[in-house]
Amino acid sequence: MSRFKSVFTTVSCLLLLMSGSIANAQQAQDSLIISLDQAIEIALEESNSVKIANLTIEKSGYSKKGTYAALYPNITASGSYQRTIKKQRMAMDFGGQAMEIEVGKWNNVNAGISATMPLINAQLWQSLKLSALDVELAVEQARSSKISMISQVKQAFYAVLLAQQVCDVYQDVYDNAAENLEHTEQLYNAGKTSEYEYLRAQVNVKNAEPNLYSSMMAIDLAIWQLKAVMGVDLDAKIGVAGDLDQYKDDLLAYNLLDENTDLENNSSIVQFKLQQQQIERTIKMTKYQYIPTLSASFAYNYMAMGDDFDFKWFPYSVAGLSLNIPLFSGFSKHNTIRQYKATQDIMQLNLEDTERNLQIAYKNYENQIATYMKNYSAAESTLEMAQRSYDIAERMYQLGKATLLELNDAQLALVQAQLTMSQAIYNFMKTKAAMDELAGKEE
């Protein structure tokens, strides 16, 4: 009875795993399979952070155009009507006789056009250059968002490939355990092996199930994370094309000596330098407040007055120049300039610290990559021996010349080598993506 229950349990587990595998296969068949390039393209189109960055560029462009508008004439039209409620009276002396007269008309109408235009305004010209730097900074911030998005998509994509590869390894482990259980059961029924061996074979199948389940769930979680990074609907059915092995040539061909550690294109450094230029322009703009300004003005007006609405219009026009010479403002400009210079010094110190920290981070990535390359090389040389050792142990076990414990040891060594190779490739590609982001590469 116990033997029948054991067989029934094993068959049930096999059917459950088969149904899960079939469901996953059907789901993969119904999913949209995308490559890494396609994932990046979708992310750049759908990501809210990239959309926000593009809108920021657009907003800065409008601000720049608004600043340029100050160079054009400012033209306004005006009109007014006044109804006199009580006329003003004036006392006058004519030939020694005092008399009072009313002044003005009951109706007063004014209409006209006026225009002003700056001719010399150094502060305004500097503000135009400052607006141009605002646009450059917005563009750089958008580039930073794009670079960060590409790096995140790459790392999430590689995580899916790793999860799939780990699942394949544990699927092989489970299949081998199930095959060994079937063979051991035949030997046990024929009286050619002990109950202990039979129980160990059953335990191996049971032990393989949780790893297989977990690896299947890890694939779903990795795909969810990829969809979240891409900015697509989390209910969308997508899958990824390729596997980690296609990147092993990149790992083997990688040469740290060929890497350029120049971080001039790092977005943080570029933004710091643009902000420094903004401070310099702001200091110049403040200094230019000491320079006189000259502007031109023109006005053309019509005026009419009358006790009734049968007006007679009288036009008049004026043109002029206005010169404004700043003399004293309580040292406010001087203190403002000193404040900006202190900000400039602080920004320079922050830039030096940022460059130093980025160099350290880049060097750390290089050391990590060197470690991953060594791990892969060691695992690659071990994998071939582990595979041969497992094949020999499996044949000897089937011939009854090896125990199940020896077979399990050989399989454990094989699995460790396979997972180490996959993990090394994943770590290499993930770190390489982070290095590209640090270097400011848009690939």
Burial of 443 (0-12, 13-18, 19+ CB in 10 A): exposed
Q: If you ran DSSP here, which 8-state letter would residue 265 be given?
A: T
Q: Say yes or no: 78 and 211 in one domain.
A: no
Q: What is the pLDDT of residue 258?
A: 66
Q: For the chain, how many structural domains are there in total? A: 2
pLDDT at 138 over 70: yes
Q: Say yes or no: 141 and 98 in one domain.
A: no
Domain boundary residue among 303, 325, 347? Answer: 325
Q: Say yes or no: 432 and 303 in one domain.
A: no
Q: What is the pLDDT of residue 372?
A: 92
What proportion of the chain, given as a percentage, has pLDDT over 90? 32
Q: For 278-287, 326-335, 369-378, which range has the lowest pLDDT when averaged over its residues?
A: 326-335
Mean pLDDT of 377-397: 85
Q: For 2-11, 38-47, 192-201, which range has the lowest pLDDT when averaged over its residues?
A: 2-11
Mean pLDDT of 343-352: 92
CATH number of the domain that residue 347 is part of = 1.20.1600.10
Q: Say yes or no: 215 and 332 in one domain.
A: yes
pLDDT at 120 over 70: yes
Q: Say yes or no: 361 and 337 in one domain.
A: yes
Higher pLDDT pick, 180 / 230: 230
Higher pLDDT pick, 65 / 299: 299
Q: What is the pLDDT of residue 394?
A: 82
176-183: Cβ within 8 A, 24+ apart: 176/394, 176/411, 177/201, 177/204, 177/205, 177/207, 177/208, 178/10, 178/14, 178/205, 180/204, 180/394, 180/397, 180/404, 180/407, 181/10, 181/205, 183/398
pLDDT at 195 over 80: yes
Mean pLDDT of 295-302: 93
Q: Say yes or no: 30 and 153 in one domain.
A: yes
Mean pLDDT of 376-399: 84
Q: Say yes or no: 299 and 161 in one domain.
A: no
Domain boundary residue among 282, 304, 325? Answer: 325
pLDDT at 115 over 70: yes
- The CB density around residue 175, as the number of other CB atoms within 10 Å, is 13
Q: What is the pLDDT of residue 17?
A: 45
Q: Say yes or no: 107 and 246 in one domain.
A: no
Q: Say yes or no: 23 and 99 in one domain.
A: no
Q: Say yes or no: 198 and 321 in one domain.
A: no
Q: What is the mean pLDDT of the chain?
A: 84
pLDDT at 174 over 50: yes
What is the residue range of 301's domain?
73-119+295-325
What proportion of the chain, given as a percentage, has pLDDT over 70? 92
pLDDT at 5 over 70: no
Q: For 86-95, 248-257, 361-370, which range has the lowest pLDDT when averaged over its residues?
A: 86-95
Q: Say yes or no: 99 and 145 in one domain.
A: no
pLDDT at 1 over 60: no
Mean pLDDT of 344-359: 92
Domain boundary residue among 306, 325, 344? Answer: 325
- The CB density around residue 213, as the number of other CB atoms within 10 Å, is 16
Q: Say yes or no: 356 and 333 in one domain.
A: yes
